[in-house]
Structure 1
Amino acid sequence: MEGMTKADVDKLDKGLAVRSGRALRPRDAATLILLDRRDKEVLVLMGRRHARHAFMPGKFVFPGGRTDPADSRIPVAQSLRGEEEKKLVAGPGRASAARARAIALSAIRETYEEAGLLIGRKGAFATAKHDWQGFAEHGVIPSLEMLRFIARAITPPNRVRRFDTRFFSAWRHDVAVELPGGGPTNELEELVWLPLADARKA
């Protein structure tokens, strides 16, 4: 969890509700760390979670969320780079290529929904999937070749909610359209570009 100290993570982990019995299977999720190089420093996009959220209310986080298996069927301008796909299918659970594709696409979808940033290439795009209509409306074809897989975090067993989260990075110049009002879900109250040093303290 970038943007949080180890003490913050430990405190959060202790505060998570626990359950008895068989551990839940973690659900796939994805987070995107979007970077912007300005002059001599690198900035990172973070958003403040809405105060009404039960989980981490008011905290600054990266855009991200759960993977929808249907994400794997969304057409793309370009697929994941071979080395990135290999990293995604390796490790616990050994995800299939289709599952890896869905996870990567969910990082792009969530970044649109939460931050209003559409990553891809300009062009005609059509889909019946409601969650992807924003790309069709703005003429953006989702594209995966710019994503870099950088980390993976799995919620510990015996938690009431468990996620298997993959962290990706990309650059702001890979954003085809930036909506001035942010994302349609309003999950993030405030979007800011922070220097990396400041992001660790947010």
Structure 2
Amino acid sequence: MDALGMIETKGMLAAIEASDVMLKTAEVTIVSQEKVGGGLVATLVAGDVAAVKTSVDAASTAVKRLSTESLFVTDVIPRPDKMLKNIIFDDKIESENSTKEQALDDSKPVVDNKVSVVERQIVKEATTPDSKSIGKINENHLMTVIADNTAAEKYLNGFKINDLRSLVRSQPGLAADKKNFYQLSKENIIKELIKYYRSKK
């Protein structure tokens, strides 16, 4: 990531407003949103330096319009150290993996009752050890659904943006300059992946 932008707000309403404004203002990706405690919510975005600065400034202004007390603190770190990724992503990956494991076991109650039967099937197919997979994405399954735009989008949407970027990195012919994919939104990465895998069929 070229830059990391952070905004800490009081209350979920302010956090949602900040997130919406940041995504609409510039080409950034939300990498994390955490409830810090005491009513504070920290939202982290990544992108190029100019985009992150613009999005954080716009979000700061929007949150202040809601209430002068809604904004707690903001910060932008240009070219963050690679070790910061361990701090930002480790807890998130761990909690997501435990939710997926629970979703696979039908005898356990699903914590997130929004996990549908289709999403459970996606997780099962993506973690099948006998199939060729990149990270958690099952390429064989992707090739079977690639003709149906909706099915392919739904399948790829079930994965984190980092999983999609791993798939991009594993394909030599996908992008001449893979660095550009770090600036794309999840939706645009999915479109590029679908276009690429259709050309392989």
Instruction: Please indicate the TM-score interval, normalised by the length of the shorter structure.
Output: under 0.3
TM-score by length of 1: 0.26
Give the structure with the higher percent strand: 1
**Greater C-alpha radius of gyration:** 2
Give the structure with the higher percent helix: 2
Higher relative contact order (CA 8 A, sep 6+): 1
TM-score by length of 2: 0.26
